[in-house]
Chain A
């Protein structure tokens, strides 16, 4: 488990949780804690298991492979960093939108924000409509607001802050800072306040913080930090604006514009005559304005009178200076204003006092004072207009009808003023305070100084006089501002663009009617829309979707183009005193869509300028932009646009974020001037070679043909100009710094800043490492470790090496369990195990052959057995034998006595003795024989019963055979005997009888019979048991069950055939006496007197002799006779 974070830069181990390297200050990977879902214990981000409870912190599923970044369109580069900290991945505008939408208000949602065109489309050398950039043909009707200003920063809030005008600047700045800090601002906005508050004192301290990239995408704030590095900007701009949110680089650029704008020619005479022409961006009729101002008739409220001053002090006076350009910042002007109004001009009006004083052209048709204070660019404008008039081009493009007194600040701002003329304007209360704060007050000051009077009265659209300016001096972004008719900026916007194109082509101005249609009915009491657009600014809006234009739109464009072509050339519009503010030309649409046209003489605030660049309000553009303004950016000739080609658009969209146009790069502050606050942005500037390394193919493919002349698309043969050269060359003269070194530094810084930001942005992206790298190595439990194969552990094999199996199919394997030896070891042979072949041996084959032969010849050899002969012979023999037996028996019975009596056997003597011993006691006589044995056993029964009777022993008869009971009854018919009856159950019954005999009188029942008292007494007095049986089972059951249980002496009278069975028991004295057969019976003492027994025994002996003779003869005959066939 790692508790350290290794710095990628210096490889220094830092404590876990560190945000920056303790050694080099490099930003360390985020060490966000992971809360354990089980115990809520914070764990390091790289932990898999909780330190507290051991639960797994994340699911066991690998994170999805990062999807390959979709091909980003060229507009993607405008998706400026606006992501919250920690968010990685491609710069998806949707993510930005969601994040920003969290801060937007519902009111802001109602105002659609136009999408911005891509940088790729802003080419410096756009000349023809065929080469129109794709952003003009893109579908710009996106209704999704791309940018939502922080709602917490309200106008009221800033107004309150500005009310403290009398307070020291430092305090005001502090309040702003504090207010900003209190506001729930996005990070990028939050960075503004501290940066501005530290402008004077903490210039160098904020760099590391922004370099760290921890701050959110506050590239604007980073830009604003440039103030820290530019004291002169702080003096003139930053002090007045007091922690303005506008980046310094924009401010610098604004200053540059201010300086250059003074050099522009101002055609004051035209300005007076024409009443509808909307001056170009930053260029307005200064003469009219001056007259209004110095005449005291149309003085803005805040300049007009004391009451106005009071009101201004109450409401918007503190906001005035922030919106006034440097045109009014001459000492003379300030003095005149002071004299007139009794109030000094704010400091910001003195911003470019010196420069303006130098730049104002002397030939301006206006008051000398105004001329002196006009900038050179205004002079140039004047000159241009004059030249155009000389060429016969009637400046029909009317001056703005200033019947209604426009607000001073609008007249002052020029293009910014036109923003107020947009329809669908946003009410002042709808605008964020901080935005409306940046704008001029409602009762703004149109400078009524004499300087403004000298402004060119015929200062028409910028296109009127810009063509006279060398295009090479225009930066790319200004060239890019040329609207294209194919742009899907909405119908109105398209119309405006078309008109602009037409006007540009024909170099004419629009008539008043057209301008009247376009000019919105806007109340000066409302906050200008361009401020609202600022609030709606979203980097996402910088991306213009490339979609083919609708056919209808294209047709409309063509119609408008034709109409515009028929219109005489438009001369630069001039503002007259009676030009109502509502008829003031609308610059916003133009400015919004064409940042390059930021040539306004009236220096807007930094945010104004920025919004003018990036903010696109479709409705505003469509409806409010005068055609003569929208024509500014179009090529002078061949305004007919080509049908939209999707292929080209696709190719255009292939620009990557790194392909920033140089005009953007030039606008970025240098690394030494500011530090980007974009997340992950580092302070390291992007090398110039990074831009030079852009493939030519990419540049050429992404840009239209008319952009092929762009520096980036220089043919390989030509030396590739450096970014610095391109940047400087693309900047118009009026935008060029007088001091080349200063301009160079500025553009270098811009380029480097942008490059640095981009680099930092890329660096901020998490390194592309495998997700598994972040996973800490889990600690396996012991029980799992125990399961780890020993081969993978250092322990090695634990068990000793076992013998190697050398034979058999398992040869080569160690530790084979030995087979049973008797099976494994062959009984014969040389010991080698051989697998018997599954082949039939000759013997088996012979047997199989024999079996088949037998089976085949079975029917042939089968024959019937001659049973008739055998039966005949047997019958004769049997009959003979039967006759012989009968003869022998009869001879024995009725013939002479041929037998001698043998000596009595031991068994007979023992039996006799036992009967004598049991004299007087009850004797159980079991008749376990049937009439089949009666001839042999009845004699014994009669002899024994006679003896018992002679001895006076009570006789108890019992039998397990029904026939036995009958025999008992027959033998004991004349005796007094007790019969126990039938005892069923064989051994069981006899066992019970044995227990009953053992129990004596206690035996009340026997085999279900209730025993009477006499019987129970006789059973208790039993002294001998006599078993008369011819069956082996009966003899055994009596001996084993009754004799064992009762322990009474047993004597048996058995047949001669059963004598061998009784002999063992007699030998073991389980039988006390055995009388076997007729021979023992004949010698029994009581049988002496019985003569029938001698005749029976004589007949038996004769039959036995006959049988032996028959067997002997039969054996001999059978032995020598032929074997009988089965």
Chain B
């Protein structure tokens, strides 16, 4: 009982204080709580990094190579950061980032375009319905309108038409859809806040 009540009480109390600070425009109170939260978040990040390193270090000891790469990479970057901080090395971390992380993430993102194209090409084979068709048509229109709107091989009126279609789709449909999503997220956030304040939602007990 105590084990469950104390976290709830703390969560509710902090939430109410934060809410009161924002509602009544009490920046000192809000900053105090945010400072505590940020500090806790930094500690949590540090704990997370250490936990990640420990887990994968254990896996490394068990012979897992991928975990060994991860653990060794973390340790290497940490060491380079220290050496950079101590002046032992110069731009050691940036070098590793530019030569390792940046090409890898760019390559993965390039694959995304290829995967999306292949998936779209076979969409109607898996989901031959109106949604699929609409999805496919929309994708075609956006792609064609974007590419053909500025294409030199397409007549100007047609290019403007494609530009107009693209504008309509972006400003009306996509924005409408995105607003709806944002409003839904906002309503969900409010609901979640209320649930947290009244103690119904207890993510900290999970």
Contacts and interface: CB of A to CB of B under 8 A. Distances in A.
A989 interface: yes
Interface centre among B35, B126, B133 (most CB of A within 10 A): B35
A1067 B98 CA distance: 36
6 contacts: A878-B114, A897-B152, A898-B153, A988-B34, A995-B27, A1060-B170
A917 B148 CA distance: 35
SS of B interface (majority) = helix
B38 A1104 contact: no
Interface stretch (B5-13, B56-64, B173-181): B173-181
Give the interface residue-count category, chain A. 35 or more
A431 B187 CA distance: 116
B147 A1112 contact: no
Contacts of B126: 1118, 1124
Contacts of B148: 1105
Contact of A877 (B109, B121, B140, B177): B121
A988 B177 CA distance: 27
Given A966-B102, A1101-B150, 10 more contacts: A885-B114, A932-B106, A966-B98, A984-B45, A985-B38, A1059-B174, A1108-B144, A1114-B123, A1115-B123, A1123-B125
A1110 B113 CA distance: 12
B114 A931 contact: no
A901 interface: yes
A683 B23 CA distance: 105
B176 to A, nearest CB: 9
Given A931-B104, A1111-B140, A1104 B147 contact: yes
Nearest to B153: A898
Contacts of B125: 1117-1118, 1121, 1123-1124
SS of A interface (majority) = helix
A306 B39 CA distance: 140
Contacts of B31: 992, 995
Contacts of A1124: 125-126
Interface in B151-187: 151-153, 159, 163, 170-171, 174-175, 177-179, 182, 185
A1060 B42 contact: no
Interface in A1085-1126: 1097, 1101-1108, 1110-1119, 1121, 1123-1124
B124 A1118 contact: yes
A22 B37 CA distance: 100
B143 interface: yes
Interface string A561-604: 00000000000000000000000000000000000000000000
B193 interface: no
Contacts of B54: none
B97 interface: yes
B68 interface: no
Contacts of A897: 152
B118 interface: yes
Contacts of B177: 1060
A992 B27 CA distance: 10
A966 to B, nearest CB: 4
B199 interface: no
Given A1105-B148, A1118-B128, A1123-B128, A966 B121 contact: no
Contacts of A848: none
A638 interface: no
Contact of B109 (A935, A967, A1063, A1111): A935
A1111 B147 contact: no
B79 to A, nearest CB: 16
A1117 B170 CA distance: 28
B102 A931 contact: yes
Contacts of B150: 899-902, 1079, 1097, 1101
Interface centre among A930, A1059, A1102, A1108 (most CB of B within 10 A): A1108
Given A931-B104, A1104-B143, A881 B117 contact: yes
Contacts of B42: 984-985, 1007-1008
Nearest to B124: A1118
B174 A1060 contact: yes
B108 A932 contact: yes
A970 B146 contact: no
Nearest to A1007: B38
Given A935-B109, A1067-B175, A1114-B124, A1105 B117 contact: no
Given A1060-B174, A1063-B178, A1111-B120, A902 B149 contact: yes
A885 B143 CA distance: 14
Contact of A985 (B37, B103, B133, B179): B37
A1058 to B, nearest CB: 10
A319 interface: no
Nearest to A1116: B124
Given A1115-B124, A1118-B121, A988 B38 contact: yes
Given A885-B113, A1103-B113, A1119 B124 contact: yes
B138 to A, nearest CB: 10
A664 interface: no
Contacts of B118: 874, 877-878, 881, 1110, 1114
Nearest to B143: A1108
A872 to B, nearest CB: 14
A34 interface: no
B70 interface: no
A625 B101 CA distance: 145
A882 interface: yes
Interface centre among B42, B114, B121 (most CB of A within 10 A): B121
B136 interface: yes
A909 interface: no
B136 A1115 contact: yes
**Pairs of residues from A and B, 9 with the lowest C-beta to C-beta distance, nearest first:** A1114-B121, A1118-B124, A1118-B125, A1060-B174, A931-B102, A931-B105, A985-B41, A1108-B143, A966-B97
B152 A1079 contact: no
A449 B174 CA distance: 163
A1060 B147 contact: no
B88 interface: no
Given A877-B121, A988-B41, A1104-B146, A1064 B175 contact: yes
A1116 B120 CA distance: 11
A1111 B171 contact: no
B145 to A, nearest CB: 9
A1108 B146 CA distance: 10
A930 B98 contact: no
Interface string B80-107: 0000000000000110011001111110
A1094 B140 CA distance: 23
Contacts of B147: 1101-1102, 1104-1105, 1108
Interface in A942-972: 963, 966-967, 969-970
Contacts of B50: none
A898 B151 contact: yes
Contacts of A881: 114, 117-118, 121
B191 interface: no
A1063 B175 contact: yes
Contacts of A1123: 125, 128
Interface centre among A966, A967, A970 (most CB of B within 10 A): A966
Nearest to B111: A882
B139 interface: yes
A1064 B178 contact: yes
A933 B113 CA distance: 12
A934 interface: yes
A241 to B, nearest CB: 98
Contacts of A992: 31, 34-35, 38
Contact of A1064 (B37, B117, B182): B182
Given A877-B118, A882-B114, A899 B101 contact: no
Nearest to B112: A932
Contacts of A1110: 117-118, 120-121
B122 interface: yes
Given A881-B118, A1079-B146, A1079-B150, A966 B123 contact: no
A1061 interface: yes
